[in-house]
Amino acid sequence: MFSEYLFFIISIAAIYSALMVLISKKPIHSVLYLTLCFFAIAGHYILLNAQFLAVVHIIVYAGAIMVLFLFTVMLLNLNIENDFKKPRLIKFAAVISGSIFFLLMIAVLKSYDIAIVQNPALTQIGLVKNLGNVLFKDYLLPFEITSILFLAAMVGAVMIGKKDIY
């Protein structure tokens, strides 16, 4: 019962901050609200007993990605109130189509009967020990290939960000 209340509190916090990302005028407020949303999602991971994912999520998203966003906003002086706006009709249509998408997905996923085999509060798979076993036994090759991806991303980011490559 207690975890259910916790679920609702974290969910409302996440959805509220996700909405505020879209509503707030200044980009820097959007970035901060998105950070709040990511922390709420990390709370959800803890609720699912996926502790490794919760920690990785906080380090990668709140620690690295959002800092990158903040750097971009602050260093480029992008914190302008956005004076470019879409027409009201397009906004209205976007919200309507987004809501229809939500209803559609709910309706589709509701008709599936997904077998539940484990109480998520008791599951042990999310712990570092078990995940590490799986990661370094069954998924060793993808894990190594990821490092090549990171190298490529690093080189690419430096190349794109350079001032005069032409």
Partner 1 sequence: MPDITNDMQFIPLSYYIAFCTALFAIGVIGVLVKRNALIIFMSVELMLNSANLLLAAFSAYRNDPAGQIFVFFIMVVAAAEVAIGLALLVMIYRSTHTIDINVLNKLKW
Selected from 9, 74, 138, 140, the binder of partner 1 by CB under 8 A is: 138
CB of 30 to partner 1, least distance (A): 6
> What backbone phi and psi angles, to 5 degrees, belong to 13?
-60, -45
Cα–Cα distance between 111 and 100 in angstroms, integer? 17
Alpha carbon 10 to its chain's center: 14
Helix ranges (H only) for 58-164 are 66-75, 88-110, 128-137, 140-161
CB of 146 to partner 1, least distance (A): 5
Could you tell me how many residues of this chain bind partner 1 (CB under 8 A)? Answer: 85
Sign of CA dihedral 132, 136, 142, 143: positive
Site for partner 1 in 106-125 (CB under 8 A): 106, 109-110, 114-121, 123, 125
Selected from 94, 111, 128, 144, the binder of partner 1 by CB under 8 A is: 94
Site for partner 1 in 50-69 (CB under 8 A): 50, 52-53, 56-57, 60-61, 64-65, 68-69
3-state secondary structure of 129: helix
Question: CB–CB of 37/18 below 8 Å?
Answer: yes
CB of 157 to partner 1, least distance (A): 4
Site for partner 1 in 4-23 (CB under 8 A): 4, 7, 11, 14-15, 18-19, 21-22
Decide if residue 166 touches partner 1 (CB under 8 A).
Answer: no
